[in-house]
Chain A
């Protein structure tokens, strides 16, 4: 208990950064993921091919490697001024690019659950592809998309801990500071694990209940 009480600032700061990282990259990867999903079902073959290649490559690359690239290798390319380059931004980019591939797949399989009749009817009414997706398909797909999307977000939340290995002061990095100050690392780590359980379990329960309540509809 002492380890926690004497380092309240450290824990608050760490989990604050974790949640910041989670929220920022969560929003960004949702946007990018939906765009990718639209590309993957679009009538233009070039976009479809790009979406497919992106998803295949990114899903089969370890997230640690993506982090590795953006933390160590990317600055060497000097696309962004090296002095402005921040590990937090690197972490956001890595998490966004990685998770977007999974968001894309969730959205795409959601689109596949929409009844064909709905789509044919909208086409018969003369809606354009953009209108069809935004006002008919995606709103209906939401039902089957949200529960797996919550799981994807849970995974994103847990994945933020990898940033600790790349100089971002978030929850995973609490251990570093504790061991520097000579505290018992084990107790600190168990507290970190406990807080993750506290953050993740409500989300998992939400996902289960959504899955149960919403899956009946169709």
Chain B
């Protein structure tokens, strides 16, 4: 349904009314933004002094290093959670209860525990040492479990004829899974998988809470330097812009892939919705509909 089905084409009266709403609405929104900017200026957050830090080469390098740490944690956690997800999705789909039941328990368990608590357990409980390890471990377990559900839903959503045909030509269970089901499921689930990777990227910021030296940690550090007038707000703006750009790039990739997938000749219309993973929304909202 297009949004326009919700209202008629406006006639002269309605156009007038919409125009009034638009002006009032725009005035309110602009007013609110202007007020915030005024407060920024009033609090001296747009003074030249608090933005000075950005010119220092050392700080630029440090900021990039911090960004690099964020991305390293993201890359490690992303790869590991994809592997974790694939293994446990296969486990949950296994014919043997010995594999199925423990996989189910583990996946459900790690989806129910907040990532922060997992990080605390690894960092303060098990004491993995370097906060990096704890960040990656926690993100892997949490997002891996969500991804396991995504993979499983993808495999279950394939038409049954696919696996029946594969068995009919004499393939073994592993072959059916590896050669027929998984490749198709991966294609169909790619947007959902990438959305989950956006979550991984965003969640690396949780490392801040266990003193992993990523972007936020560096922002907090630099934000307290009196020499630059404690530029917390400028730093928050810059860091937020970095995160938003990175996530938007990933979301854009997800959108692009889902569009290309729909056009592709290999596209298979999934049979209804499989049991959908709790944090995952499909087709309708490909880009980061997850929390």
Binding site for B on A (CB under 8 A): 41, 43-48, 50, 56-57, 59-65, 68-69, 72-73, 76-79, 99, 102, 105-106, 109, 111-112, 114, 116, 119-120, 123, 129, 132-133, 137, 148, 151-152, 154-156, 158-159, 161-162, 164-165, 171-172, 175, 179, 185-186, 189-190, 192-193, 196-197, 200-201, 204, 207-208, 211, 215
Question: Given contacts A62-B205, A137-B6, are A185 and B125 in contact (CB under 8 A)?
Answer: yes
Note all chain A residues with C-beta closer than 8 A to B232. 72-73, 76
CB atoms of B291 and A155 under 8 A apart: yes
5 nearest A-B pairs in the assembled complex, by CB-CB distance: A62-B205, A155-B291, A60-B247, A186-B125, A165-B209
Question: Given contacts A79-B39, A102-B289, A116-B1, are A45 and B117 in contact (CB under 8 A)?
Answer: no
Closest A-chain residue to B251, C-beta based?
A60
Q: Complex formed: what's the CA distance from A19 to B116 in Å?
A: 17
The one of B25, B36, B281 that contacts A47, using a Cβ cutoff of 8 Å:
B25
Question: Given contacts A73-B236, A76-B233, are A132 and B6 in contact (CB under 8 A)?
Answer: yes
The one of B6, B109, B244 that contacts A57, using a Cβ cutoff of 8 Å:
B244
Q: Complex formed: what's the CA distance from A176 to B98 in Å?
A: 39
Closest CB in chain B relative to A176 CB, distance in Å:
9
CB atoms of B124 and A185 under 8 A apart: yes
Question: Given contacts A46-B26, A59-B288, are A41 and B114 in contact (CB under 8 A)?
Answer: no
Q: Complex formed: what's the CA distance from A164 to B210 in Å?
A: 11
Closest A-chain residue to B30, C-beta based?
A46
Question: Given contacts A60-B198, A62-B203, A119-B1, are A68 and B284 in contact (CB under 8 A)?
Answer: no
Q: Is B216 an interface residue (CB 8 A)?
A: yes
Question: Given contacts A129-B7, A193-B121, A211-B276, are A162 and B1 in contact (CB under 8 A)?
Answer: no
Q: Is B273 an interface residue (CB 8 A)?
A: yes
Q: Complex formed: what's the CA distance from A57 to B14 in Å?
A: 31
Closest CB in chain A relative to B188 CB, distance in Å:
19
In B219-265, the 8 Å CB interface with A consists of 219-220, 223, 230, 232-233, 236, 239-240, 243-244, 247-248, 251
Where chain B touches its partner, the secondary structure class is: helix
CB atoms of B113 and A46 under 8 A apart: no
The one of B114, B126, B220 that contacts A172, using a Cβ cutoff of 8 Å:
B114
Note all chain A residues with C-beta closer than 8 A to B120. 172, 175, 189
Where chain A touches its partner, the secondary structure class is: helix
Closest CB in chain B relative to A204 CB, distance in Å:
6
Closest CB in chain A relative to B252 CB, distance in Å:
11
Interface size class of B (residues with CB under 8 A): 35 or more
Binding site for A on B (CB under 8 A): 1, 3, 5-8, 10, 14, 18, 21-22, 25-26, 29, 36, 39-40, 42-43, 45, 108-109, 111-118, 120-121, 124-126, 198, 202-206, 208-209, 216, 219-220, 223, 230, 232-233, 236, 239-240, 243-244, 247-248, 251, 273, 275-276, 278-279, 281, 284-285, 287-289, 291
CB atoms of B117 and A61 under 8 A apart: no
CB atoms of A151 and B288 under 8 A apart: no
CB atoms of B117 and A68 under 8 A apart: no
CB atoms of B113 and A193 under 8 A apart: yes
Closest B-chain residue to A108, C-beta based?
B285
Q: Complex formed: what's the CA distance from A192 to B125 in Å?
A: 12
Note all chain B residues with C-beta closer than 8 A to A50. 25, 29
Q: Complex formed: what's the CA distance from A172 to B208 in Å?
A: 14
CB atoms of B291 and A77 under 8 A apart: no
B10, B14, B120: which has the most chain A beta carbons within 10 Å? B120
CB atoms of A161 and B216 under 8 A apart: no
Q: Complex formed: what's the CA distance from A57 to B243 in Å?
A: 10
The one of B3, B7, B220, B291 that contacts A72, using a Cβ cutoff of 8 Å:
B220
Q: Complex formed: what's the CA distance from A179 to B116 in Å?
A: 17
CB atoms of A105 and B289 under 8 A apart: yes
CB atoms of B205 and A43 under 8 A apart: no
Q: Complex formed: what's the CA distance from A123 to B240 in Å?
A: 42
Note all chain B residues with C-beta closer than 8 A to A175. 120, 124
The one of A79, A137, A207 that contacts B278, using a Cβ cutoff of 8 Å:
A207
CB atoms of A62 and B26 under 8 A apart: no
Closest A-chain residue to B247, C-beta based?
A60
Q: Complex formed: what's the CA distance from A116 to B5 in Å?
A: 7
Q: Complex formed: what's the CA distance from A109 to B10 in Å?
A: 24
Note all chain A residues with C-beta closer than 8 A to B43. 76-78
Q: Complex formed: what's the CA distance from A99 to B290 in Å?
A: 11
